[in-house]
Chains A and B, each alone.
Chain A
Amino acid sequence: MKVLVAMSGGVDSSVAAAMMVDQGHEVLGVTLKLWSGPDGQAPTAGCCTVSDGEDARRVAAQLGIPYYVLDYSDVFMAGVVDRFIEDYAQGRTPNPCVECNRTIKFDRLLSQAAEFDVELVVTGHYAQVVERDGRWMLRRGVDLLKDQSYVLSMLGQDQLAKVRFPVGWLNKAETRELAAALSLRTADKAESQDICFVGDRDYRSFLSDVAPGVAVAGDFVDRDGSIIGQHDGYTNFTIGQRRGIGLALGEPHYVTAIDSTSATVTLGRKDDLAVRTVYASDASWVDGEPPVDPNVEAQFRAHGVAAPAMFWENGGEVEVRFAAPQTAIAAGQTIAFYQGDDVLGGAIITATSRD
């Protein structure tokens, strides 16, 4: 089979490529150039660096497969980075990895792969695609600490038919062992950053560089709406944040709400963060339609735990009621639905309620 492996220059996609070669496929390695520095050149730190691209190229050469760099920087900027900035401007907490998977890797790249006459697109994600009774299933990776099914929860049947995640059957340690056994240069490479284009700095300094003016100053208010201080920009805060508030309030205070229209940040106590109901939109289902059984487990952080919940779906809008209150859920995040290790689908959180 002709397969395309998206190679980031990390150990996971390196091993994924090696596994595909080992299985006898005709493999083509590509690196997506998603981000460039201000001068249009590949940056030397953060994501899409010169050295990451070189690692991918060298691994491809070692595996004896052709290798290309595909330039996705303009669609990445429009589809992921601009949306990331816009989400913060709206007082939400975005998950750009989900957006990148949705708009870049499993949309644009899948289309381009078809133009290369490639049958499968392979990445180094920790998740599993399996066929069961003629349907494609998405499951958690066996390594639950590395499992990335959450950021893939928007994939549907059309996409799952054309993608594979070979390292989803491995523990991270096994991936590294395999890389070492094959003497891949990426075997000992450090884990990548959570948000590739922000790099190892704070997202706030990224925002102030690329979107100065997005951080609008305003008031801190308490749960009753009384002004208790001033902040230097509501985009500097996320729901559940305790550090960096900069007010002497005696007891610990947490960010419980962000209102972008009035630029106010509401502070409260820990129990004010409790959420029982989540409203979400843009729902997408692995099976193309919501599951019949409304009893699911819902996960609202990339490496969080899925908690029992019930959901009601109506035209892409979802209401999720957790069996027990959850803490600190922010609008803009993805909520992924599971039954056991099977992914059912996902949606983007629009609002939460403590009731």
Chain B
Amino acid sequence: MYYVDHAATTPMRPEVWAAMEPFVADAFGNSSGSHGVSRRAKNALEEAREHAAGLIGARPLEIVFTGGGTEADNLAVKGACLAGDGIGGLVTSPTEHEAVLESAAFLERLGGRVSLVAVDDLGLVDPEAVAAMVDDQTAVVSIMLANNETGAIQPVGEVAAALHDRNVLIHSDAVQAFGTRRIDVDTLGVDLLSLAAHKFGGPRGVGLLFVREGSAIEAVIHGGGQELGRRSGTHNVMGAVGMATAMGLADKHRDDVVELVANERDAFETMLSQRLAGTGITVAAVERLASHSHISIPGIRNETLLVRLDRAGVAASAASACQSGAATVSHVLKAMGMTLDEARECLRVSFGWTTQPGDGGAVAKIVAQEVEALRS
């Protein structure tokens, strides 16, 4: 079986599970207690925080562990807009993850103001256009680092630079990017940054939000005041340990992984284009993640192709996974100006740390075979 859906989620690295395992049974302590069992958990949690912070150039207390990337996005967007008096404005783009867009819709229902900046046909924002939408009511600008469907890299650094003298927080959803891109929050110039462990060999169900010191955010989950009041709830110690370990491994192996997945991705695209005339590479013209290939195959419904690929041993995807399991047309492609019919011909193949040399060509061969069978 060829697993080429790393953009959806990735298998856990064995070293991550090895680091987490002690916290399943033995070191079960509630990190907020005052006894030895609790201290061990607390120490592991804070060690994980320090480790994670160091890997993105942040300070430990700037890390808020969350229940995943979606929660981190919610905390960033809602937390920034709901901090202080009234509801601050949000400037974002229509190709963001639903975690941001649905948070935006929620803020609008509360009476908040949401401005969507236009994207071009590759899904990219123009930093100057983003800056022009910011006014003194704007609390936060949220632009993702890399798109989860196409892999296209947004000019987040330029957006931040264009707004450096404005009193507004810059958030970036970097969930999709961390596995193949080194991230330094200062270089990037962001105040808020979301990560999810399961996108790079860590466990599902844990993420983090970097919150630059001095940034005002309101909690989304209220309770016992953990995480300096920014995220209540008994700590998921083993999750935090797993996340930090996965971040460390992703960082350590990043250059090798990037080289591997870029080779396989390029081999996949080259071979497929040779076998299947008319194959389009959606965002070939811009900088994109080395792991992602978003292609269109004229005349082939992705829904049908995916069923055949599943049977042929290739786990790929049409777009982002949807709750019901039905393949629906993505808001990302819609925002890029694709028609319904065009969007239904798109396929996402994404490589990752378990990819083996030769996978790209092998997957291309199977995709081509299935497409040829459908066309015959």
Contacts and interface: CB of A to CB of B under 8 A. Distances in A.
A71 B328 contact: yes
B228 interface: no
A115 interface: yes
Interface string A115-128: 11100000000000
Given A66-B310, A68-B307, A42 B324 contact: yes
A104 to B, nearest CB: 15
A42 B373 CA distance: 32
B323 interface: yes
Nearest to A33: B326
Contacts of A74: 340
A70 interface: yes
Contact of B324 (A28, A53, A117): A53
B374 A66 contact: no
Size bracket, chain B contacts = 10 to 19
A241 B198 CA distance: 60
A80 B307 CA distance: 26
Interface in B313-332: 323-328
Interface string A62-75: 00001011110110
B311 interface: yes
Contacts of A68: 306-307, 310, 325
Contacts of B326: 33, 69-71, 73
A28 B311 CA distance: 10
Contacts of A115: 301, 304, 308, 374
B50 interface: no
A40 to B, nearest CB: 7
Contact of B325 (A28, A53, A73, A117): A53
B171 to A, nearest CB: 25
Interface string A13-49: 0000000000000001000010000001110000000
B323 A69 contact: no
A53 B303 CA distance: 17
Which of B304, B306, B325 is most buried by chain A, counting CB atoms within 10 A of its CB? B325
A57 B325 CA distance: 10
B149 to A, nearest CB: 17
Interface string B287-314: 0000000000000010110111011000
A115 B310 CA distance: 14
Interface string B216-246: 0000000000000000000000000000000
Contacts of A70: 303, 326-327
Which of B303, B307, B310 is most buried by chain A, counting CB atoms within 10 A of its CB? B307
A40 B102 CA distance: 13
Nearest to B324: A42
Nearest to A48: B324
Interface in A100-147: 112, 115-117
Interface of B: 301, 303-304, 306-308, 310-311, 323-328, 340, 373-374
Which 7 pairs across A and B sit closest by C-beta, in order of nearness? Answer: A69-B325, A71-B326, A69-B326, A33-B326, A42-B324, A115-B304, A68-B307
Interface of A: 28, 33, 40-42, 50, 53, 57, 66, 68-71, 73-74, 112, 115-117
